[in-house]
Structure 1
Amino acid sequence: MHTLTKRAALQRLVIGTAAAVAAFGAQAQTTTLTVASFPSFDLAVKAAIPLYKKVNPNVEIKLVSLAFADHHTAMTTALAAGGNVPDVMGVELSYIGRLVESKGLEDLGKPPYNGMALTPKFAKFTVPLAMSGSGTLAAIPADIGPGALFYRKDMMDKAGVTEADLTKSWESYIEAGKKVKAATGAYLMADAVDIKDIYIRSGLKAGEGIYFDKKGQPLIDSPRFQKGFELAKAARNAGIDAKVKAWSPEWGEGFKRDKVASQMMGAWLGGHLSNWLAPDSKGQWRSAQLPNGAFASWGGSFYAIPQKAQNKAAAWEFIKFMTTNKEMQIEAFRKLDAFPALIEAQSDPFVNEPIEYFGGQKARQLWKVSADKIQAIAVDKFDPVANEIVNAELDKVLEQNKDIKTALADAQSAIKKRVRR
């Protein structure tokens, strides 16, 4: 009965969507709407296609999906060239600053979209991420990535390590890693860089940037990055990281072969662990808040409309369907473990359901607490450049024992030269 009710609700919404498209000026003939996305964000579109098509037969959805980096490179190139653009563009958080400032996207805050009226519906920190310095609303949030610590409870039990040992402080987390390594032979984390990545994102106030201040000046040579580098170095010296980069084949194998006992990432990692990274470890993983009371956003996805798109009216209605409909947001939550940006969907009973993969833990409740505490940080089009330079310098600290203060100063200088504001 629940499924029928849910389907009926979706049908009613899409019928209303079809009427809105007509009112927006769409023609009766078939419209082919091209949606460009990337794994696993594209799964939400795949789930939506039959629902959208069933009661809106005049709109065909053509999904074009490329690997994460390839997709964003293609979209950046297409916007710069002004051609070969999709009608709807999926954008991940790490690229949003660059694409927002490209001036190749529609301002969804202005008529005929009037997207600013929708902003109270979304988690407070999401919408500012998609706004330019001049106030342009370039994209609408679909999902968010509340930061979480995932850990193997069976390995912690064997090492006599509690969740409190992992989360009390960063120093306690590192000490716990030593016990896990001694008792199980597993590394506590895949890469010491992960500690730096979380640390520099946590504790920021609303409106602050990770890498740049409001005037566009880099913030690398600062106590925040100093502490992040020190913690990463301490983890490497303790021998608790496997020295493998996220998303590498070795990273995936580390989970499958029980060689990595914890991972800090966005809540969406839960879906990756259960679906393909470590499906055989069902019941052994748990989720916790980040160490030291940290709350940080890790990833998140948006939809945008290129200025050169051919079917803007239909594109806007599809984006609203994907982002403001509670049932569709929950469907994506079920399929992807992508935590919804829509506040209404965050209160759905689904959030309180136990997760079998996490031993019956109601982990989504923790993710909601984190989502409520995350601040709206500022993004900059040069964030990817800064991230690349900072990580290159941290590698020198970890691999070549480069002095941390020198590394940060060099990173600060290199970023200034690259961006040349």
Structure 2
Amino acid sequence: MGYRFLGATVSLALLAGGPAAAQSTEITIWSWNVAASALKSTLEGFNKKYPDIKVTVQDLGNDQVFDKALAACAAGGDGLPDIVTIENFEAELFWNRFPDCFTDLTALGYTPEMQALFPEFKRTELEVDGAAYSMPWDSGPVTVFYRRDFYEKAGVDPATIKTWDDFLAAGKKVMEANPGTVMAQADFNGDSEWFRMLANEQGCGYFSTDGQSITINKPACVATLDKIKQMKDAGIITAAIWDEKIQANTAGRTASQVFGAWYEGTIRSGSPDLAGKWGVYPMPSLTADGPHAANLGGSSLAISEVSENKEAAFKFVEYALTSNEGQVTMLKSFGLVPSLLSAIDDPFVKEKQPYWGDQAVWTDILSTLPKIKPARGTAFQADADGVYKAVQAKYFANGYPDAKTALDDAAKQIETATGLPIAE
């Protein structure tokens, strides 16, 4: 699942004190759309383990829930549910602005051993000075989804695509062999997705990993932006918004999509008649020996400080997120990619997937989780992203002489907006 989810309501009933009596307690989770449906899919397994805990999931809608959560935190938590789904991308905004809004999960049993079940990159934005305000849910390990038939017609073996230069050269061949098809698409006009994916792979981002300085103009970020413009100028990547990408997938107008792995469900459900024609391969890197791993999207579950049922809420969060059963149920049912490292050993993950040409795509995708480098959003993620998108548009229109000048300008603008220093 990409970008933000929020909103679902979970009512849990906890065993009250003695074995003879149980007291029902309603617990609410805010989540949305596929995320809410995924939570529902875990309830059967959860109730087998906790038969006296009742769970109700309510789908509320994404932007509305994000706004409501911020407003509730600003009001001292008034109106917050017991559990809120928070996207990693926006998490630090909550902890920085409202440090008392959500519970430190370590006080409820989120032990160091439990924390170690997840990769570092998922935890970086959720933990502050030893406190853990949210538990990792799904992730978005980046992969290349590709049309097997288009690549084969061009004589391109995806196993030979190690660098973005390889990707560019392969794109020219694929497009020549398949007239009317582009190698890949990107929302160049409204999103920063490609920059964030490629920069994360290189260990660079808007901010330093300690969140104390601006690093968008560091050499790795400059090389990233330069490479994206090279591919755009070569015509192998064209601009397209979300719906246009889905239409291009179905119509056979694109040979690849580079996205977080949650996009698997978008292709499979959006283009069901193309079963067997799609496959996946690792994202290229700037150099052949690069990590070939990055993350885009993903969320977490946080328990509000005002909740009167924290222990019950934690039982649900623990089951849904720290057990293979909970995480793989959501993967199997709705394509939510686990953050739980042990999920790679699950039998379903190892299965060949018919839609993907009998490729064991989940094994290939989840194997990249330990290689993904942490990135910080800080409380200023939205500010920095807005600055970058404007600079990207100007640079692609040749408004800067080179990528370094463009990102130096972005760094200065972010410095003005946030008060953070530009890293030396």
Instruction: Specify whether residues 123 and 131 from structure 1 end up closer, same or farther in structure 2 by C-alpha distance, changes over 3 A only.
Output: same
Q: CA deviation digits over 1:268-311, x for unaligned, max 9? A: 22122112x32222111111111024211222221101112242
1:155 paired to 2:147 = no
1:348 paired to 2:338 = no
Which residue is equivalent to 1:244? 240
d(CA) in 1 for partners of 2:65, 2:296: 19
1:219 paired to 2:215 = yes
Residue 389 of structure 1: CA displacement? 1.3
Which residue is equivalent to 1:121? 117
Q: 2:279 aligns with which of 255, 263, 286?
A: 286
Which residue is equivalent to 1:339? 337
1:272 paired to 2:260 = no
Which residue is equivalent to 2:390? 392
Amino acid corresponding to residue 274 of structure 2 in structure 1: S
Which residue is equivalent to 2:29? 35
Normalised by the length of structure 2, the TM-score is 0.85
Amino acid corresponding to residue 341 of structure 2 in structure 1: I
Check whether the contact 2:200–2:373 (CA below 8 A) recurs between aligned residues. Answer: no
The secondary structure found in structure 2 opposite 1:31 is coil
d(CA) in 2 for partners of 1:274, 1:374: 25
d(CA) in 1 for partners of 2:308, 2:376: 31
Check whether the contact 1:190–1:242 (CA below 8 A) recurs between aligned residues. Answer: yes
Check whether the contact 2:246–2:267 (CA below 8 A) recurs between aligned residues. Answer: no
Instruction: Specify whether residues 18 and 342 from structure 1 end up closer, same or farther in structure 2 by C-alpha distance, changes over 3 A only.
Output: farther
d(CA) in 2 for partners of 1:213, 1:390: 18
Residue 147 of structure 1: CA displacement? 1.7
1:84 paired to 2:79 = yes
Q: 1:164 aligns with which of 159, 166, 184?
A: 159
Which residue is equivalent to 1:6? none
Amino acid corresponding to residue 196 of structure 1 in structure 2: F
The secondary structure found in structure 2 opposite 1:364 is helix
Instruction: Specify whether residues 397 and 321 from structure 1 end up closer, same or farther in structure 2 by C-alpha distance, changes over 3 A only.
Output: same
The secondary structure found in structure 1 opposite 2:143 is strand
Instruction: Specify whether residues 70 and 23 from structure 1 end up closer, same or farther in structure 2 by C-alpha distance, changes over 3 A only.
Output: same
Which residue is equivalent to 2:416? 417
Residue 58 of structure 1: CA displacement? 5.0
Which residue is equivalent to 2:104? 107
Check whether the contact 1:72–1:95 (CA below 8 A) recurs between aligned residues. Answer: no
1:259 paired to 2:258 = no
Check whether the contact 1:212–1:380 (CA below 8 A) recurs between aligned residues. Answer: no
Unpaired runs of 5+ residues, structure 1, are 1-16
Check whether the contact 2:119–2:341 (CA below 8 A) recurs between aligned residues. Answer: yes
Residue 64 of structure 1: CA displacement? 3.2
Check whether the contact 1:195–1:228 (CA below 8 A) recurs between aligned residues. Answer: no
Instruction: Specify whether residues 24 and 168 from structure 1 end up closer, same or farther in structure 2 by C-alpha distance, changes over 3 A only.
Output: farther
Deviates more, 1:408-417 or 1:62-71: 62-71
The secondary structure found in structure 2 opposite 1:286 is strand
Amino acid corresponding to residue 45 of structure 1 in structure 2: L
Amino acid corresponding to residue 408 of structure 2 in structure 1: A
Residue 39 of structure 1: CA displacement? 2.8
Amino acid corresponding to residue 185 of structure 2 in structure 1: A
1:69 paired to 2:63 = yes
Q: CA deviation digits over 1:72-113, x for unaligned, max 9? A: 233222222222211111122211222233311111112x44
CA RMSD of aligned residues (A): 2.6
Instruction: Specify whether residues 87 and 168 from structure 1 end up closer, same or farther in structure 2 by C-alpha distance, changes over 3 A only.
Output: same
Amino acid corresponding to residue 93 of structure 2 in structure 1: R
Residue 182 of structure 1: CA displacement? 2.4
Residue 24 of structure 1: CA displacement? 12
Check whether the contact 2:145–2:256 (CA below 8 A) recurs between aligned residues. Answer: yes
Instruction: Specify whether residues 86 and 407 from structure 1 end up closer, same or farther in structure 2 by C-alpha distance, changes over 3 A only.
Output: same
Q: 1:312 aligns with which of 310, 313, 319?
A: 310
Identity, % of aligned positions: 27
Which residue is equivalent to 1:5? none
Which residue is equivalent to 1:188? 183
Instruction: Specify whether residues 370 and 213 from structure 1 end up closer, same or farther in structure 2 by C-alpha distance, changes over 3 A only.
Output: closer
The secondary structure found in structure 2 opposite 1:63 is coil
d(CA) in 2 for partners of 1:24, 1:215: 47
d(CA) in 2 for partners of 1:209, 1:221: 9
Which residue is equivalent to 2:7? none
Check whether the contact 1:92–1:300 (CA below 8 A) recurs between aligned residues. Answer: yes
Instruction: Specify whether residues 99 and 23 from structure 1 end up closer, same or farther in structure 2 by C-alpha distance, changes over 3 A only.
Output: farther
d(CA) in 1 for partners of 2:175, 2:354: 27
Check whether the contact 1:35–1:61 (CA below 8 A) recurs between aligned residues. Answer: no
Instruction: Specify whether residues 147 and 315 from structure 1 end up closer, same or farther in structure 2 by C-alpha distance, changes over 3 A only.
Output: same
d(CA) in 2 for partners of 1:271, 1:260: 17
Residue 18 of structure 1: CA displacement? 7.2
The secondary structure found in structure 2 opposite 1:304 is strand
Check whether the contact 1:140–1:304 (CA below 8 A) recurs between aligned residues. Answer: yes
The secondary structure found in structure 2 opposite 1:297 is coil
d(CA) in 1 for partners of 2:144, 2:249: 14
Q: CA deviation digits over 1:9-55, x for unaligned, max 9? A: xxxxxxxx977x54699x93322211111232222211123444567
d(CA) in 1 for partners of 2:374, 2:347: 26
Residue 376 of structure 1: CA displacement? 3.6
Amino acid corresponding to residue 82 of structure 2 in structure 1: D
d(CA) in 1 for partners of 2:266, 2:345: 23
d(CA) in 1 for partners of 2:211, 2:140: 27
Check whether the contact 2:206–2:384 (CA below 8 A) recurs between aligned residues. Answer: no
Which residue is equivalent to 1:198? 197
Residue 114 of structure 1: CA displacement? 4.3
